[in-house]
């Protein structure tokens, strides 16, 4: 018996994503990243990654990243 499997998304990211601080030294954090994933889940995968990157850059102090920003996204059908 075959069963239907829904597509899944896998996001792998460097600590530079969640540890990026703003001018008040507040980190971007995993909760904010989770919210971004939920907010963009209906967008094409490439756009999701671009939006995540832009959100982290916007979060940072004057667009200056203090660590490498790496995001790998895989769609599993």
Q: pLDDT tens digits, residue range 28-39?
A: 999 999 999 899
pLDDT of residue 27: 95
> Alpha carbon of 73 to those of 7, 31, 48, 64: distances in Å?
13, 18, 9, 23
Residues 6+ positions from 65 with CB-CB distance below 8 Å = 16, 20, 56, 57
pLDDT of residue 61: 87
Dihedrals φ, ψ of 32, to 5°?
Answer: -65, -40
CA-nearest of 4, 52, 3 to 28 is 52
Read off the pLDDT of residues 1-50 as tens digits, 9 standing for 90 and up: 556 667 788 999 999 999 999 999 999 999 999 999 899 888 999 999 99
């Amino acid at each position: 018996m075959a069963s239907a499997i829904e597509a899944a998304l896998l996001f792998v990211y460097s600590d530079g994503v969640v540890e990026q601080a703003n001018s008040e030294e507040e980190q971007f954090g995993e909760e904010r990243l989770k919210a971004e994933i939920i907010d963009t889940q209906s967008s094409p995968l490439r756009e999701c990654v671009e939006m995540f990157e832009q959100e982290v850059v916007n979060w940072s102090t004057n667009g200056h990243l203090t660590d490498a920003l790496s995001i790998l996204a895989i769609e599993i059908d």
